[in-house]
Structure 1
């Protein structure tokens, strides 16, 4: 019995020794290190390092819902049907979802940045039918260069405080394709030269028979950003080239109407007013344009109730492109009554004049001016969540003109007031 026990113990010890030797010969494997998300404080709040790189990324966005009432409502009537047209919807709803992606990487030439803003709208009623996806921003910045879809370097106030507008924005506010270079001089001073898509700035170009885009709009600005606020002086050169063949004697030959140039200039200042309230600001801005009315914030037409006016940069008369001119002034401010309650107040005046030969040739074009004013009261019950109401007043005044329809002459209504009320819920993240 002792012999059997000894043999069993000896065999077990031998097996254990062999197994231990084999285990010692196996390679040792370690668990892969875990890549934890690290906060990147270099570029401000909300950035974190992309695992395995030195790039920092920020994801942000917005969800917004607007409920709008407009009175009087816009009419479908054309100018020679004024008084007989059907009304459009008085109410409307807008829903918008927006996603921002901002990626920044340090390089020896400065920060390399790629930015994208993608949004989707769902509109009903008087908010129109412009539903679907929109690539609002998509640009690269590096070593002073900005390339892609970005805010025009002409713009300054760019509808910073107002939610809605009437017949056009209170000053230029355009996202466009561009290629720009910005030089910085220290102490907050900078200068930019930018080549921007002319197509985004043309208003009813068929009236001068647009002959393609030969030259992009050329934009230049001088800017300063300091503790007291910021200021900017900007200018734009805008080409109008026509394909019309002009022959004052008739026949098949003639002279091709070639090119003229529109231009615009704008100056603005933004004051920070912490002595009135933390976050308080005041904007002041003025612009003048000749042959480039988009730089005043205008669209292709302005409408209030039964009064409608077509907006053009130029019109061909006797072989020449006659340009339209105008100016805009805007003031806007915000005051924080408490950290969670603020109100805004803004106003804008735009005046447009057409060449006298254009007015003589076509009764559709008459000088007009447009008043806008608005105020909003906004409550933020939690951070980055706004509930507010905005009331907007607009008035369109147009020179009276006579229309003959079926041999029955009448005068088209020359002015109209309009009031817009908008309730908004907005969550930024």
Structure 2
């Protein structure tokens, strides 16, 4: 009996030990997985970053398009090889781009803390910025990071926006406070609509925005004014002769092209900008202003006509020669958007008008650099216009120009678009833009004296040249005036078969009205295939067609 009892007790003890061992081997209950949660505070597409109270959204688009008889993104052939229509020009240009955006937002006691960035990965037709000829866009410059690296298997990355917003402030690369809400895109595909300001690809700045309620706000900003062609065109020091020969066609343009930023000095004072804006259900209205400093180099030996600050011209003695005084110019703009027009649901009208003095970029801004001069050829008929912020002169016995302070250039512009929705899938926009650049009599005298070789050629508005220039020979009865008017009109139609996928076709015509009259005879530089001939001044135009498909995500 005792043996049986001992056996039973022993067996029970063994079971207890085994059971305890198995219990110790059981896994501890796993911690709950923290899944990504939807963040509905800031609209669709935001999610909470795991373990934080920050919401993040990834987005962007993929776009492919081609332009016939124009540059990428429907750039008119209003200068360069395309405007000459020589055999080095690309008569179609295409680009594929994927834009990626990252948007983060965090609620704080000071309001929303936001960061935003956009990078563009793109590949274009080889030499798309100009041609396959001798222009600056041709590689191997691209592999050195100087221009677009559109070689096989290559491509390049561009940065549009990089900014932080906090407590009403914006720091980084963002849209200027001067720009209208649509920048240069009231209803168009083209990235080259003139008539106003465009900072759609961003500019380094610091801004502060006040919200007054009822849709009323005001913003003050300090924008980068550097020579990156965002807020500058060029300053001409009219001290020397025309570059490259008699009529001296320079880089695909006439002798009257002088190179971007020829006589600008370094950064001295940033651009001060601001706006007052009213947003309502009917649309919006905005008034903007900007102050721009014209800060030139020296009177002599530095950055003369036809050169850039690259060591091509001796700088010896430049400091002792003195310099022109800085002059402040600026611009004002008014923008209006009217929504829900009686023509159809979602139809709208966007227009803006701008006036400038010594700040021509504000009326000729595009998302690409503004040409130093507009030049369109049709056989021997030549339309031209010179783009500057100001003109001055150092002493030069050769051309009769003495020491002259900065003469600020005047500009004006208007652009807009009417958009009509035919139905939920089809829409069209009729758009256009126009801008004019003009010079006072002193500026005309400085410019024309630099180039005109013949005495007795009239300057528009009165007076004749001194005949001291070294440019081509003007014909009898010719009139010298570097001012011009450039205009555009276009129509784009879009088809959206499914959400966020759009096919579009845009036709556009650009027209250059020159203020020059008469003719000029000269020999082109050896760099271009133009003949020695007499070129008659007259207005010319150019048409282009853009086809695009874009998928937003």
Under a length normalisation based on structure 1, what TM-score does the superposition of the two structures give? 0.89
Match of 1:314 among 390, 407, 418: 390
> SS in structure 2 opposite 1:31?
coil
- Greater fraction strand: 1
Aligned match of 2:59:
60
Cα gap change, 1:83 to 1:335, in 2 (>3 Å): closer
- Any residues of structure 2 matched to 1:69-108 within 5 Å, and which? 69-70=68-69, 76=80, 86=87, 88-108=89-109
From 536, 540, 552, the counterpart of 1:416: 540
Equivalent runs, 1:169-180 vs 2, <5 Å: 169-174=194-199, 175-180=202-207
Corresponding residue number in structure 1 for 2:325:
258
Count the aligned residue pairs: 421
Q: CA deviation at 1:412?
A: 4.3
- Deviations for 1:76-129, whole angstroms, at most 9, x for unmatched residues? 569xxx979555111111111101111000001100000111112211167426
Of 436, 452, 473, the residue aligned with 1:351 is: 436
Find the residue that maps to 2:508 and give its secondary structure. strand
1:311-370 Cα offsets, whole Å, 9 max, x none, are: 111111323011111100112121111111111111111111023333333347611001
SS of the counterpart of 2:52? Answer: coil
Whether the 8 Å contact between 2:289 and 2:332 is mirrored in structure 1 is yes
Determine which of 416, 426, 439 is the counterpart of 1:341. Answer: 426
1:42-61 to 2 correspondence within 5 Å? Answer: 42-61=41-60
Give 5+ residue unaligned stretches, structure 2.
71-75, 130-136, 138-147, 150-155, 238-261, 302-316, 394-402, 452-480, 525-531
Aligned to 2:271, which of 189, 208, 217?
Answer: 217
Distance of 1:310 and 1:115 partners within structure 2: 38
- Aligned residue among 171, 190, 195 for 1:164: 190
User: What is the match of residue 329 of structure 1?
Assistant: 414
Q: Which secondary structure state, in structure 2, belongs to the residue aligned with residue 242 of structure 1?
A: coil
Residue 233 (structure 2) aligns with? 203
- Give the TM-score of the pair, scaled to structure 2: 0.70
On the 8 A contact 1:282/1:331 being kept in 2, the answer is: yes
Quickly say closer, same or farther: Cα 1:419–1:398, change in 2 above 3 A: same
Contact 1:102 1:113 in 2 (8 A): yes
Change (3 A) 1:169 1:120: farther
Shift of 1:263: 0.6
Match of 1:383 in 2: 499
1:90·1:125 contact (CA, 8 Å) conserved in 2?
A: no
Aligned-CA RMSD value: 3.0
**C-alpha distance in 2 between matches for 1:15 and 1:84:** 100
**Stretches of structure 1 lacking an aligned partner (at least 5 in a row):** none
Q: Deviations over 1:257-303 (max 9, x none)?
A: 12001110000111111543332211121000011011113413334
Give, in whole Å, the separation in 1 of the partners of 2:225 and 2:122: 25
Report the alpha carbon displacement of residue 414 of structure 1 after superposing the two structures with TM.
2.7
- The question of whether the paired residues in 2 share the 8 Å contact of 1:340 and 1:381 is answered with yes
Asked if structure 2 preserves the Cα contact closer than 8 Å seen for 1:205 and 1:313, the reply is yes
1:305–1:38 distance in 2 versus 1, CA, 3 Å: farther
CA distance in structure 1 between the partners assigned to 2:163 and 2:84 by the alignment: 47
Aligned residue in 1 for 2:178: 154
- CA contact under 8 A between 1:371 and 1:394: conserved in structure 2? yes
